[in-house]
Chains A and B, each alone.
Chain A
Amino acid sequence: DIQMTQSPSSLSASVGDRVTITCRASQTISSYLNWYQQKPGKAPKLLIYVASSLQSGVPSRFSGSGSGTDFTLTISSLQPDDFATYYCQQSYTTPLTFGQGTKVEIK
């Protein structure tokens, strides 16, 4: 199975900060990488697909990059609505696997 490792596991940031979350795959996955946002008690929401494509309706402050084994999700200017947990997920092969999540909290 492909292991997805996110870092950090949690972070504290202020509104307006630039935030970067990293996801590393245990083997190469090309650009088969998606990012989701989840708020407490809610279903995950797709933010980025195929490593860098912004899902329709998602604010442009979210961006994704990377290929191979190393990927990043960047929030250019953190907004109050962005405090949530973020997950990466690989779709290169089954079993599909998710990272352990990165919780973004208010500083």
Chain B
Amino acid sequence: QITLKESGPTLVKPTQTLTLTCTFSGFSLSTRGVGVGWIRQPPGQALEWLALIYWDDDKRYNSSLKSRLTITKDTSKNQVVLTVTNVDPVDTATYYCARNSRWSGRDYFDYWGQGTLVTVSS
């Protein structure tokens, strides 16, 4: 059974750094083709992809936020961590982590965590 779960603060002050952890089970981030991504959704709005890390430590970022994002993995702990620096109220959103799978060279998010709501406010 594949599960992912996000954890981190529910409230962060503007200009602070947000650190989110995705803890997963049922698969290995050492397996070729596998990755873990972060996607967020502001209240009432659409999904926005943030970052993705692959089994081989290849990292991809949303260029619109790239300077503020860092994604890392700890394969032994089955965790992926996303940090977002210098947060602003517009970063208020539900943050999801999801497993990325690959078929015939094409990627898709096939398992998702339940999401964690992060509010940025002073």
Please name the residue on chain B nearest to A30 by beta carbon.
B106
Give every chain B residue within 8 A of A45 (Cβ-Cβ): 112
Contact A44–B47 (Cβ < 8 Å): yes
Which of B64, B98, B109 has most A Cβ within 10 Å?
A: B109
Q: Is the CB of B28 closer than 8 A to any CB of chain A?
A: no
- A45 to B47 Cα, complex, angstroms: 12
Contact A49–B110 (Cβ < 8 Å): yes
Q: Is the CB of A50 closer than 8 A to any CB of chain B?
A: yes
Contact B108–A49 (Cβ < 8 Å): yes
Within the complex, what minimum Cβ distance (angstroms) separates B92 from chain A?
A: 16
Q: A32-B106, A89-B108, A95-B60 are in contact. List 18 more A-B contacts (CB 8 A).
A: A1-B63, A38-B47, A44-B98, A44-B109, A45-B112, A46-B108, A46-B109, A49-B108, A50-B103, A50-B104, A50-B108, A87-B47, A89-B47, A91-B106, A96-B107, A98-B46, A98-B49, A100-B46
Q: List 25 A-B contacts (CB under 8 A).
A: A31-B106, A32-B106, A34-B108, A42-B114, A43-B98, A43-B115, A44-B112, A50-B103, A50-B106, A89-B47, A89-B49, A89-B109, A91-B107, A94-B60, A94-B61, A95-B49, A95-B60, A95-B61, A95-B63, A95-B64, A96-B52, A98-B48, A98-B49, A101-B46, A101-B47
